Amino acid sequence: MQQAPIAVTMGDPAGIGPEIAARMFAEGPPAPALLIGDAAALRRALASIGADLAVRPIADPAEARFDPGSIDLLAAGPPCAVAAGRIDAAAGAASFAYVERAIAEALAGRVRAIVTAPISKAAWHAAGIGFPGHTELLAARAGVTEFAMMMANETLRVVLVSIHVALAEAVRAVTPAAEGRAIRLADAALRRAGIARPRIAVAGLNPHAGEDGQFGREEIDIIAPAIAAAREAGIDASGPWPGDTVFMRARRGDFDAVVAQYHDQGLIPVKYLGLDDGVNVTLGLPFVRTSPDHGTAFDIAGSGHARAASLIAAARLADSMARG
């Protein structure tokens, strides 16, 4: 029996999503995959990169054939004829529909993993969509409350305590429950990846991890007790470590993953190492979901110059995780 394929969502039709998806399928995806999106947008993207591939519409993942000369396309949402390179409510609604269809197929077991090309959060907002991003939508549709974002590349894995919130709200989100959840999810994800006893470093929130309370008490009152509770539960967690050195130590091999307290604290180190190999993974879902670690790149959308390396890395990791 043929294994269920990976579903790749096209992302915002006005961004580089259609182009990097077209490029990945032209080069050959790392595992059997189908694309969820808009046929016209895909054909424009294929023309922009000079790829001579047929677009093969399917109504169900079971119809996919994975022929090298074609792309199996599962349509979702209304046709979306939008100009490349700008925020558009119609494009936001379309990209939302692609993800919704992918989630439905994953929950039904008809696809074994989801790889999402970049969406525009501003376009979702313009379309009246209440979710701030992929992660929150995926968790809501899957019915999970314990979830987190992990960014990973060849040398660094980072799990976030809070995701897409204002910095002031991110500080308030440093709670015992949030700390414990991020540590547990990081440990579970690495165990599933084959690491028998993951070493989880927890970054501090304040400069120098609070310097014994001189620069804030979150480390003393919240983070350290959560680490102690995780250790009592059998997790090899340590910290809180100063945020300006813990990522360097993880790259050196001292830790298997870092729990970062807020979005930019964790993502800047990963993205600084380069966008080609970075992958975003949503932890806590009943199915595998990965994505590239870059955005819609409206400035080059439609030019044929977008690179597909991060999307390919995301598909490769999704395949590996789904097999595991």
Same domain, 18 and 69: yes
Same domain, 63 and 111: yes
**Distance between CA atoms of residues 179 and 222, nearest Å:** 8
Same domain, 263 and 161: yes
Global pTM reads 0.87
Same domain, 179 and 259: yes
Angle at 40 between CA 5 and CA 102, to 5 degrees: 30
- State residue 78's pLDDT score: 82
Residue 193, domain member (yes or no): yes
Helices (H), 161-219: 167-172, 176-192, 218
- State residue 320's pLDDT score: 87
- State residue 1's pLDDT score: 40
The CATH number linked to 70 is 3.40.718.10
Would you write out the chain's pLDDT as a tens digit for each of its 324 residues? Answer: 468 999 999 999 999 999 999 999 999 999 999 999 999 999 999 999 999 999 999 999 999 999 989 999 998 988 888 888 899 999 999 999 999 999 999 999 999 999 999 999 999 999 999 998 898 899 999 999 999 999 988 889 999 999 888 999 999 999 999 999 999 999 998 988 789 999 999 999 999 998 899 999 999 999 999 999 999 999 999 999 999 999 999 999 999 999 999 999 999 998 888 767 789 999 999 999 999 988 899 999 989 899 999 999 999 999 988 886
Same domain, 237 and 317: no
- State residue 125's pLDDT score: 95
- State residue 277's pLDDT score: 76
- Cβ atoms of 10 and 43 closer than 8 Å: no
Same domain, 132 and 79: yes
Same domain, 80 and 103: yes
| Tens-digit pLDDT profile for residues 140-164 | 999 999 999 999 888 899 999 998 8
**Distance between CA atoms of residues 226 and 50, nearest Å:** 53
Residue 279, domain member (yes or no): no
- Cβ atoms of 202 and 240 closer than 8 Å: yes
- Cβ atoms of 74 and 36 closer than 8 Å: yes
- The residue written with tokens 């990081």 in the block is 186
Q: Domain range holding 9?
A: 1-143+294-324
Q: Total domain count for the chain? A: 2
Same domain, 174 and 253: yes
